[in-house]
A and B are shown apart, each in its own frame.
Chain A
Amino acid sequence: QQQVKQSPQSLIVQKGGISIINCAYENTAFDYFPWYQQFPGKGPALLIAIRPDVSEKKEGRFTISFNKSAKQFSLHIMDSQPGDSATYFCAASRLPGNQFYFGTGTSLTVIP
């Protein structure tokens, strides 16, 4: 059973556009929600993360929006650049130091 559901599977965005990736979870015990970015041939790298006590977190062009009541969270990439082309994974876990449940990933392509 997939604990974290992610959509879309793939996304094509024009340079300068906004990329939006959505995730939903079921387990209300989750209290840590990271997003990872993975380039081909590399391991996933932490991009940004949020705790459920805030509804939004912004770091540069990357923003997480969190809706606790709907059990959904999303990643917004503003002013998308070709260098953002990668696979993005959402995840969820219970603090501290517990396993991550990953979404199935979204392959983002930003067209110049």
Chain B
Amino acid sequence: DSGVTQTPKHLITATGQRVTLRCSPRSGDLSVYWYQQSLDQGLQFLIQYYNGEERAKGNILERFSAQQFPDLHSELNLSSLELGDSALYFCASSSRTSGRNEQFFGPGTRLTVL
């Protein structure tokens, strides 16, 4: 158990809908990362937050957005969903203050868009 929690575990929705994925980082970790894992693309970095502020952006679509709240949990919002958005979405956290760069991954949310 990495200490990172993600909810829900599974999500099934229809095209055009909007969903919110939630992540709680390990206790004390200030950085949260979101990744998308699909069969043909592997693990793709979406976005990083550090202590509530956006730190880096990767291959995140404009239909997707995220935020990190004062209690450090993060949410990834996916809107106008398309079939191709079906994937596993992982959240990871790390402790920058430790001087190390380990990222601890949650169990993921499997999104299915029908």
**Does A54 sit at the interface, judged by CB under 8 A?**
no
**Does B84 sit at the interface, judged by CB under 8 A?**
no
**Does A98 sit at the interface, judged by CB under 8 A?**
yes
Q: Is the CB of A103 within 8 A of B101?
A: no
Q: Is the CB of A95 within 8 A of B101?
A: yes
Min C-beta distance of B45 to chain A, whole Å: 5
**Does B14 sit at the interface, judged by CB under 8 A?**
no
**Does A111 sit at the interface, judged by CB under 8 A?**
no
Q: Is the CB of A46 within 8 A of B102?
A: yes
What CA separation (Å) do A95 and B94 show in the bound complex?
12
What CA separation (Å) do A101 and B48 show in the bound complex?
13
**Does B58 sit at the interface, judged by CB under 8 A?**
yes
Q: Is the CB of B105 within 8 A of A44?
A: yes
What CA separation (Å) do A32 and B96 show in the bound complex?
14
Q: Is the CB of B31 within 8 A of A97?
A: yes
Question: How does the 8 Å CB contact mask read for A2-43 relative to B, with 1 for contact and 0 for none?
Answer: 000000000000000000000000000000101010000111
Instruction: Give chain B's interface secondary structure class.
Output: strand
Q: Is the CB of B2 within 8 A of A89?
A: no
Specify which of A43, A95, A99, A104 is in contact with B2 (CB 8 Å cutoff). Answer: A43
**Does B108 sit at the interface, judged by CB under 8 A?**
yes
Chain A residue numbers with a CB within 8 Å of B35 are 102
What CA separation (Å) do A20 and B74 show in the bound complex?
37
**Does A78 sit at the interface, judged by CB under 8 A?**
no
Also in contact, A99 and B48, with CB within 8 A (given A43-B108, A44-B43, A89-B42): yes
Q: Is the CB of B43 within 8 A of A89?
A: yes
**Does B52 sit at the interface, judged by CB under 8 A?**
no
What CA separation (Å) do A49 and B104 show in the bound complex?
13
Chain B interface residues (CB < 8 Å from chain A): 2, 4, 31, 33, 35, 42-45, 48, 50, 55-56, 58, 90, 92, 94, 96, 99-108
The 17 listed contacts between A and B (C-beta, < 8 Å) are: A32-B101, A36-B105, A43-B4, A43-B108, A44-B90, A46-B102, A46-B104, A93-B101, A96-B100, A97-B94, A99-B33, A99-B56, A100-B45, A101-B45, A102-B43, A102-B45, A103-B42
